[in-house]
Amino acid sequence: MEKKYALKAKPNRFVYHVSFESVRKSILKNGLIGNPKEINGYRNAIFAHNSAIPNYNWYPFCFDACYFWDSSIKFNNPTDDFAYHMEKQGYDFWRIDTWKLKKEWFVDDIGMKDFYEGSNYPFLIVTFDNIPPSALQRYKFHPEHKVTKFDGVAHFQGRFRAA
């Protein structure tokens, strides 16, 4: 039985799931599939970050930063520092388009208590339905911003964008 929550969450259109690059081919082929084993009361759960700006508080970075990241390597910009360590540890970001899904999302009460205690905003959310590849797009940090100019108008994209 999957964990049931009384507190439903309204996700942003785009939410983000973090995984290791070693499962990239499987995700591209099968999408995100929840673990059928029960762990901490969760079964078939797929977790996501209800924010578009990755940072050190995101799971699993919050743990890895303490143990595996080389704190002697620093850049002038915290985003560069984060991107460097992200790539070195082999993480993938998956943008989930919630408008393409008819899934219920719930507040991840365990994660919220552990990392965002006291916050009323659902930064961490969970669903108990698989997410197909058609609703996913891999994102990554690029070395430079992207500027597209057309007919007197410029469109600016940051470093964190589609792979």
- Residues contacting residue 81 through CB under 8 Å, at least 6 positions apart: 73, 74, 75
How confident is the chain (163 residues) per 10-residue block, as mean pLDDT? 70 92 95 88 89 72 57 66 74 92 90 83 91 94 83 84 84
CA pair distance 163, 153, nearest whole angstrom: 24
Task: Find out whether 81 and 87 touch, Cβ atoms under 8 Å.
Answer: no
> Is-above-0.95 flag for pTM?
no
Task: Find out whether 69 and 85 touch, Cβ atoms under 8 Å.
Answer: yes
Q: What confidence score (pLDDT) does residue 14 get?
A: 95
Q: What confidence score (pLDDT) does residue 75 get?
A: 61
The residue extents of the domains of the chain are 8-162
CA pair distance 71, 81, nearest whole angstrom: 9
Q: What confidence score (pLDDT) does residue 98 get?
A: 96
Q: How many CB atoms are located within 10 Å of the residue 130 CB?
A: 14
Segments of the chain assigned E as strands: 8-9, 14-20, 46-49, 91-97, 105-107, 124-127, 136-141, 146-150, 153-157, 160-162
Q: What confidence score (pLDDT) does residue 17 get?
A: 92
Task: Find out whether 94 and 139 touch, Cβ atoms under 8 Å.
Answer: yes
Q: What confidence score (pLDDT) does residue 115 get?
A: 81
Q: What confidence score (pLDDT) does residue 90 get?
A: 80
Q: What confidence score (pLDDT) does residue 51 get?
A: 86
Chain-centroid distance of CA 136 in Å reads: 11
